[in-house]
Amino acid sequence: MGAGHHHHIYRPGDTVVHRLPPQCKLPAVLGFAVVVVATPREMFAAFAGYALILAGVAAAARVPPWFVLRRMAVELPFVVFALALPVIGLGERVSFAGMSLSLEGLWAAWNILVKATLGVVASILLAATTEPRMLLLGAQRLRVPPLLVQIAMFMLRYMDVILDEMRRMRIARESRGFTARDVRHIPVIARSAGALFIRSYERGERVHLAMLSRGYGGSMPMISDLSASWRQWMLAGLLPVLALLVLGVL
Amino acid sequence: MNAVETPAGETPSLEVSRLAYAYPDGTQALYGVDLRIGRGERVALLGPNGAGKTTLVMHLNGILTAGHGTVSVAGLPVRPGTLKEIRRRVGLVFQDPDDQLFMPTVREDVAFGPANLGMRGDELARRVEDALARVGMLEAIDRPPHHLSFGQRRRVAVATVLAMEPEILVLDEPSSNLDPASRRELAEILRSLEVTVLMVTHDLPYAMELCERSLILSGGVIAADGPTRELLADPALLAEHRLELPYGFAVPAPGVPGV
Amino acid sequence: MHVPDGFFNAVVSVSAGAVAAAGVAVCLRGARRELDDRTAPMAGLVAAFVFAVQMLNFPVAAGTSGHLMGGALAAVLVGPYTAVLCVAVVLAVQGFFFADGGLTALGVNITIMGIVTAVVGWAVFRLIARFAGGSRGGLAAAAFAGALVSVPAAALVFTLLFWIGGNAPIAVADVALAMGGVHLLIGIGEGLITALTVSTVLAVRPDLVFGARGLKRSLVLRGADGATEQVPAQAPRQAAPGRPGRFVLGGIAVTALLAGIVSFYASSSPDGLERVAQDTGFGVVATDHQLVGQPLADYGEAGGIPVGVAGLIGVAVTLAVGGGLFFAVRRRAGETRESVGA
């Protein structure tokens, strides 16, 4: 997993993309990703079209390119994998810059890279323009099972608390000269993990007791109104529909 | 035990019988607690640290499940099927208001309880404002809780519970960490509320000021039950249960009208 | 192992999505009984914990490191249904909130890292715990075994999916061998960390450990006169007897779905199989960390493994999981009967 991907991606703003209700944005991005994945790898122009659509969304949301590029680091491990494919792939080989590359491998690398990139940019734009709490409310609106939404809610509520605990424990370990180098150090890390589990749990437990005492019965009360007009649905629907048009025309 | 009997036939606000509990690590905290609190009473539950006060409180709204015995609130026994109604009836105010105020603003926090009861819209807004007005914190409605003083936070914590219109208000160490002015303000608020109150504390003057009747919880059982004035005037009893009046504090002579 | 968009073809992505949805639906049904209102936030906390702990890299062997998947750990701590939900939520949050892992690959990711690790980990844990007894050491040993097996099992299912519809021209047997081998190593680390974590939690808060439920002591009642009396603790609410049956039914449904996809795709796309038949070339390790600085040529000798081996391993794993579940179910059903009879 890429380093630092626990940082929140959300960028507060008041653009048309930010204002779209989350229950419209979620299916739109999913639909777009499905269209991208289903596109045959030979259709270069279609992929260019998808990239233009995403650039349009980013511009409308005022999300700067450097922001997106920096967040794309999460993709890196698979970029390495994709780049290895032409070298290790099977089948017919071509010679390029003195290297013997698999033609099939090149196609595979292109296919994975372009689809993964478009997918990750779409996800980044969704996360950058939607507050995590709103994304959860949107999921609830879309009839995602409430139990899942709650688990995600608690996860987001305590994630920073736990990461902070973990960071402090690491600093404590390192300030006493410990760095994990080989297998013999696993017990130390594991005991930290155990302590982390208990600490985090007991910290959250106190807040949870307070929630229970006020009648928390399994779902967070939805106080804010999250209705979406048909115009907002249409606007969000533009993303997958445009992608489909690109796929159909090109 | 010289229990103060509630009139027969009337359902008490709170009834605990033979309650025993051991923590998962094996430590037993309660060894058969019996108590009865009538409607409208204000009762102090006194006891030294480690007497099992907090453990008992956690049983009153079913956060802990009795290892043995029963708890019932206004006649309704605490069991898995009744937890929702029990938690509406028992308003628990935690010792640390920061544990209790977990929402971004005072308004959302006070709304959390009644919204869980299904309240929405104008009715919910009215309930929130009313609860905040009762503790004198209405002007803080849109502020984040962590910007309030400790005393204000405790009053908001009381409001979060009042918003659910509980049968009995249970306060865990309500006077802890309060400066004298906040302490007095909270006492005035508590006295003005028309609900049954169970106040868990080892602050004996505060108990005397607010509660006519006190229970002493010691060693996991109710060791004494009677008028606060009488209990606090018995130095041997207090010493036996590691309770002490502050230096210079004298119990007003019996016969003087109570507060 | 967070698979991005485009790694698997659309058919596998969508089918795995259906499998994951079915699995999560089964777990939601099961978890509603496991999760009273006390454990719902606990699942959220376990999810947050799994999320944090997945960032904890541990050294495996010279130069390589792995990270905890946490499926087996979550299964032991909060039970298999809840564990699947936890890991599924972690993956969904990573996908939607952090753009980590493709949205269309969410189904693949949940199937592999949630369902497979939790189900295999739990089944093995129960089997071993049965023989090792209820002591802290026994439970830790069982947790070790469960986590150890869960990781290569996930790697093999990944290989199986890759065989069905991977978008890369690599010999599947090599993938199976490389993935299985490296993940066996990672599994040891996962097992150690899981066992020690479970053991640490058992020492301090045994009530938090789902896999250690049913250990209760008797209570003492003390009267006002000082007389004492021993009473047994009132039994905690037990799971309904029908529960494991549903779990197995759900498992069978998921397996059937998978099998259906395999046969559908195998028949409609012979070139996928043809490609597999060319068993020359190099294996590759498709995990996050191993690629960098790992001599890929080391796996060059892996060629020559018969084509069907990966499939056979898949079948063997399926049988092992099914058998484990069968025993676990029979044992629980037996327990229920005994307690009713007593």
Burial C273-290 (b: 16+ CB within 10 A, else e): eebbeebebbbbbbbbbb
- Residues of chain C whose beta carbon is less than 8 angstroms from a beta carbon of chain B are 36-37, 204-207, 217, 219-224, 228, 231, 233-234, 236-237
A85 to C45: CB separation less than 8 angstroms, yes or no? no
Using CA atoms, how far apart are residues A193 and A234, in angstroms rounded to an integer?
47
Q: Which residue has the tokens 């499998």?
A: C19
3-state secondary structure chain A: CCCCCCCCCCCCCCCHHHHCCHHHHHHHHHHHHHHHHHCCCCCHHHHHHHHHHHHHHHHHCCCCHHHHHHHHHHHHHHHHHHHHHHHHCCCCEEEECCEEEEHHHHHHHHHHHHHHHHHHHHHHHHHHHCCHHHHHHHHHHCCCCHHHHHHHHHHHHHHHHHHHHHHHHHHHHHHCCCCCCCHHHHHHHHHHHHHHHHHHHHHHHHHHHHHHHCCCCCCCCCCCCCCCCHHHHHHHHHHHHHHHHHHHHC
Q: Which residue has the tokens 């949630």?
A: C114
CA distance C234 to chain A (A): 22
pTM of the predicted structure, to 2 decimals: 0.69
| Closest A-chain CA to B157 | A210
A223 to B111: CB separation less than 8 angstroms, yes or no? yes
Summarised one tens digit per residue, pLDDT across range A34-60 is 899 888 888 889 999 999 999 999 999
Single-letter residue type at C237: R
Average pLDDT, chain B: 87
Q: Could you tell me the residue ranges of all domains in chain B? A: 14-101+168-240
Burial of A198 by CB count in 10 Å (0-12 exposed, 13-18 middle, 19+ buried)?
middle
Query: For residue B203, what are its two tokens?
Result: 């602050």
B102 to A209: CB separation less than 8 angstroms, yes or no? no
Q: Judge if A113 and A193 occupy the same domain.
A: no
Using CA atoms, how far apart are residues C113 and C157, in angstroms rounded to an integer?
10
CA distance A147 to chain C (A): 7
Is residue C201 within 8 Å of A198, Cβ to Cβ?
A: yes
User: CB under 8 Å to B163, separation ≥6 — which residues?
Assistant: B110, B111, B113, B114, B127, B128, B130, B131
C-alpha dist (Å) from residue A27 to A23, A30, A55, A142, C87:
7, 5, 19, 9, 22
Largest CA distance in chain C: 85
| Closest B-chain CA to C215 | B24
Q: Judge if A129 and A25 occupy the same domain.
A: yes
Q: Is A216 on the interface with B (CB under 8 A)?
A: yes
Q: Which residue has the tokens 């603003």?
A: B105
| Cβ-based contacts of C168 with chain A (< 8 Å) | 85, 89, 105, 108, 112
| Cβ-based contacts of B113 with chain A (< 8 Å) | 214-215
Lowest mean pLDDT among A130-134, A135-139, C114-118, C169-173: C169-173
* Residue C224: band (very low, low, confident or very high) from pLDDT cuts 50, 70, 90: low
Q: Is A213 on the interface with C (CB under 8 A)?
A: no
Of C219, C224, C236, the CB nearest to B20: C219
What value does the mean pLDDT take over residues A195-222?
A: 75
C-alpha dist (Å) from residue B65 to B166, B210, C34, C38:
20, 30, 16, 11
A77 to C103: CB separation less than 8 angstroms, yes or no? no
What is the structure's pLDDT at C216?
47
Of A71, A118, A123, the CB nearest to C95: A123
* Residue C279: band (very low, low, confident or very high) from pLDDT cuts 50, 70, 90: very low
Strands B90-93 and B168-172 come out as: parallel
What value does the mean pLDDT take over residues C303-310?
A: 31
More confident position, B21 or A206: B21
Does domain B14-101+168-240 bear CATH number 3.40.50.300?
A: yes
Q: Is A20 on the interface with C (CB under 8 A)?
A: no
| Closest C-chain CA to A73 | C100
Return phi, psi of residue A177, to 5°. Answer: 85, 15
| Cβ-based contacts of A211 with chain B (< 8 Å) | 102, 112
Cα Rg, chain C, nearest whole Å = 21
CA distance C340 to chain A (A): 31
Summarised one tens digit per residue, pLDDT across range B145-188 is 767 888 998 999 999 999 999 999 999 999 988 999 999 999 99
Summarised one tens digit per residue, pLDDT across range C51-101 is 888 877 666 554 555 678 889 998 998 889 888 988 999 999 888 888 888
Strand partners, B133: none
- In this structure, what DSSP letter does residue C8 have? B
Q: Judge if A204 and A233 occupy the same domain.
A: no
Backbone dihedral region for residue B102 (phi beyond 0: left; psi -120 to 50: alpha; all else: beta): alpha
Using CA atoms, how far apart are residues C15 and C88, in angstroms rounded to an integer?
16
Residue B168, classed as helix, strand or coil, is: strand
Of A206, A210, A215, the CB nearest to B116: A215
Please give the residue range of the domain that contains residue A155. Answer: 144-213
Single-letter residue type at A72: M
Average pLDDT, chain A: 81
Substitution target in C24, C103, C139, C299 with the highest count of A β-carbons within 10 Å is C103
Q: Which residue has the tokens 């079915």?
A: C22
Summarised one tens digit per residue, pLDDT across range B44-92 is 999 888 888 889 998 998 888 888 999 999 999 998 888 888 988 999 9
Is residue C299 within 8 Å of C284, Cβ to Cβ?
A: yes
C103 to A102: CB separation less than 8 angstroms, yes or no? no
B28 to C220: CB separation less than 8 angstroms, yes or no? yes
Q: Is A178 on the interface with C (CB under 8 A)?
A: no
Burial of C187 by CB count in 10 Å (0-12 exposed, 13-18 middle, 19+ buried)?
buried
What is the structure's pLDDT at A21?
92
Using CA atoms, how far apart are residues C76 and C142, in angstroms rounded to an integer?
9
C-alpha dist (Å) from residue B241 to A75, B221, C9, C185, C224:
64, 11, 73, 59, 14
Q: Could you tell me the residue ranges of all domains in chain C? A: 10-341
Using CA atoms, how far apart are residues B108 and B104, in angstroms rounded to an integer?
7
What is the structure's pLDDT at C243?
44
- Number of domains making up chain A: 2
Q: Judge if A135 and A165 occupy the same domain.
A: no
A135 to C289: CB separation less than 8 angstroms, yes or no? no
| Cβ-based contacts of B86 with chain C (< 8 Å) | none
The number of beta carbons lying within 10 Å of the beta carbon of residue A100 is 10
More confident position, C154 or A85: C154
Using CA atoms, how far apart are residues C143 and C140, in angstroms rounded to an integer?
5
Q: Judge if A62 and A122 occupy the same domain.
A: yes
Query: For residue C278, what are its two tokens?
Result: 């060319």
C231 to B22: CB separation less than 8 angstroms, yes or no? no
What is the structure's pLDDT at A225?
61
Write the ipTM. 0.86
Q: Judge if A148 and A177 occupy the same domain.
A: yes
Q: Is the pLDDT of residue C333 over 50?
A: no
* Residue C339: band (very low, low, confident or very high) from pLDDT cuts 50, 70, 90: very low
Summarised one tens digit per residue, pLDDT across range A149-205 is 878 877 876 777 778 778 888 888 888 877 766 666 777 777 788 888 787 777 667
Write down which chains contact chain A via at least 3 CB pairs under 8 A: B, C
- Residues of chain B whose beta carbon is less than 8 angstroms from a beta carbon of chain C are 1, 18, 20-22, 24-26, 28, 31-32, 65-68, 80, 83, 219-223
What is the structure's pLDDT at B127?
94
* Residue B39: band (very low, low, confident or very high) from pLDDT cuts 50, 70, 90: very high
The percentage of chain B sitting over the pLDDT mark of 90, rounded to a whole number, equals 56
| Cβ-based contacts of B18 with chain C (< 8 Å) | 221
B161 to A212: CB separation less than 8 angstroms, yes or no? no
C-alpha dist (Å) from residue C27 to A27, A114, C114, C243, C250:
24, 34, 11, 11, 8
* Residue C289: band (very low, low, confident or very high) from pLDDT cuts 50, 70, 90: very low
Q: Judge if A128 and A189 occupy the same domain.
A: no
Does domain C10-341 bear CATH number 1.10.1760.20?
A: yes
Q: Is the pLDDT of residue C172 over 90?
A: no
Is residue B170 within 8 Å of B57, Cβ to Cβ?
A: yes
What value does the mean pLDDT take over residues C180-199?
A: 85
What value does the mean pLDDT take over residues B136-141?
A: 92
Is residue C70 within 8 Å of A1, Cβ to Cβ?
A: no
The percentage of chain A sitting over the pLDDT mark of 70, rounded to a whole number, equals 87
Interface A-B, measured as beta-carbon pairs within 8 A, has a size of: 53
Substitution target in A94, A115, A143, A151 with the highest count of C β-carbons within 10 Å is A151
Is residue B42 within 8 Å of B210, Cβ to Cβ?
A: yes
CA proximity to C120, closest of C318, C333, C342? C318
CA proximity to B94, closest of A223, C44, A155, A205? A205
Residue B124, classed as helix, strand or coil, is: helix
CA distance B235 to chain A (A): 36
Of C4, C275, C291, the CB nearest to A84: C291
* Residue C111: band (very low, low, confident or very high) from pLDDT cuts 50, 70, 90: very high
The answer to whether residue A233 is domain-embedded is yes
